[in-house]
Amino acid sequence: MQRIHVVGGGLAGFTAAITAAESGALVTIHEAHHTLGGRARTAEGPYRTNDGPHALYRHGPHWTWLDRRNLLGPTVTVPPLEATRLRFRHHGTLRRTPPLAVLRLSRRNATHAPVDTDFHTWAAAQIGEEGARAAAHYAAVALYHHDPGSLSAAFVQERLRRAGALPPEARYPVGGWDRIIDRMASRAWNLSVRIETASRIDTAALDTLARTGPVVVATSLDAARALLGDPALTWASGRTALVDLALRTRRGDAFAVSDLDAPGWIERFTAQDRTLAPAGEQLVQGQFPVAPDETRATGTARAEDLLDLGFPGWRDRTVWRRDALASGRTGAVDHPGTTWRDRPAIDRGNGIYLAGDQVAAPGLLSEVSFTSGIEAALLALGSTAHPTPSATPLDLKGA
């Protein structure tokens, strides 16, 4: 059996490694950083912030995959009392309920929405211009894109339906996503997967690895493009201003505020998981997509406006803050006329396979990483069954 190499120790990488190892393959994970997890890392210290995914969606394929392997661990949902504190900004004021038109549209199956039409045009024909704008902005919680209405109607509607599901699909790993990564790493270790941290792979090293067996590149698409030397390896994503705050607790704070006037969302994550911040403090995290010509400051200003509405006195109560900009790190978005099948193929040829959240695999947010990781591993396993010896170096730039 040839060894299968996995470049990247995040969600996609561990999914691929575990899938391959469960079939008896010899697997090595190469992680460039000293710690595992990729964008599923959770910050150390008193404030357990996540850099990437926050919630698992219970009806997604990765929920079943993790559950069958006892890798989920404890998860929590939003307590009923906190759910009543969900607020919506509409026409500049805070409301307890979204417009009825948005609720009606969120119940429609995505199969009713066309792939070739933008969401705003399609939704406006269903519920009117104002309702279409509000629905697009609400769906941004699962899109991280500054103009959701311009994206494929089928793509946005699927995310609107799942984000607005009742009862909510979202479940939150207690303690943060690194708890799941830890369990995945233990599972991989028990399957004899070799895990090498601080193991940065460049193009020359990738060529060497590919001589000994298939390689699954489970990195960001930007990193994969540089590693494979393939400038065509691109797909649209978003730019999002991220705001993390620790606030002294105040009764009456909103659980979450969805901005229906523009794409944006703020959530108090300690509402469902008290382990994320010290006693007497609340961990609040916001995401505010910005256009390519806008700065992080634009998104931060919008975040502060929304905080003024949902978290009165937040400036005086802030004990810790972190601002950041996520560019091209929030998953793929599909423009009209495209679906996940049009994204970069998992099989790149010459025994190289891609996994991550911007490749040709279905799912919502982190589900794409899981799905592509499984598919990449199965393809790699198939290639080891029929190895093709090569006496010359691989032309990775043509992969």
| Cis omega (within 30 of 0) for bond into 393 | no
Boundary residue ending a domain (327, 349, 374): 327
CATH of residue 300: 3.90.660.50
- In this prediction, residue 4 carries a pLDDT of 97
Q: How far apart are CA 355 and CA 370, in angstroms?
A: 8
pLDDT of residue 110: 87
Q: Which of 379, 343, 384 is nearest to 361 (CA)?
A: 343
Cβ atoms of residues 168 and 3 within 8 Å? no
Q: What is the number of other CB atoms lying within 10 angstroms of the CB of residue 388?
A: 7
Residue 312: CB partners within 8 Å, gap ≥ 6?
250, 252
Q: Is residue 254 part of a domain?
A: yes
Q: Left (φ > 0), alpha (ψ -120 to 50) or beta: where does 365 sit?
A: left
- Whether 169 is covered by a domain: the verdict is no
Q: What is d(CA 301, CA 354) in angstroms, rounded to the nearest whole number?
A: 37
Per-residue model confidence (pLDDT) at position 52: 73
Token look-up 């730039």 returns: 397
Is 7 inside any structural domain? Answer: yes
Per-residue pLDDT of the chain (399 residues; tens, 9 = 90+): 679 999 999 999 999 999 999 999 999 999 999 999 998 999 988 999 987 778 888 888 889 999 999 999 999 999 999 999 999 999 999 999 999 999 999 999 888 899 999 999 999 999 999 999 999 999 999 999 999 999 999 999 999 999 888 888 899 999 999 999 999 999 999 999 999 999 999 999 999 999 999 999 999 999 999 999 999 899 999 999 999 999 999 998 999 999 999 999 999 999 999 999 999 999 999 999 999 999 999 999 999 999 999 999 999 999 999 999 999 889 999 999 999 999 999 999 999 999 999 999 999 989 999 999 999 999 999 987 654 443 333 333 332
Nearest-5° Cα angle at 282, 276 to 284: 85
Give the single-character DSSP code of 2: P
- Is residue 227, in this structure, part of any structural domain at all? yes
Last-in-domain residue among 327, 348, 363: 327
* Number of domains observed in the structure of the chain: 3
Same domain, 318 and 250: yes
Max Cα–Cα distance, the chain, nearest Å: 69
Element (H, E) at 182: helix 178-190
What's the domain range around 148?
80-88+98-163
How far is residue 128's CA from residue 115's CA, in Å, rounded to a whole number? Answer: 19
Q: Are 201 and 298 in contact (CB under 8 A)?
A: no
371 belongs to a structural domain: yes
Final residue before a domain boundary, out of 163, 195, 219: 163
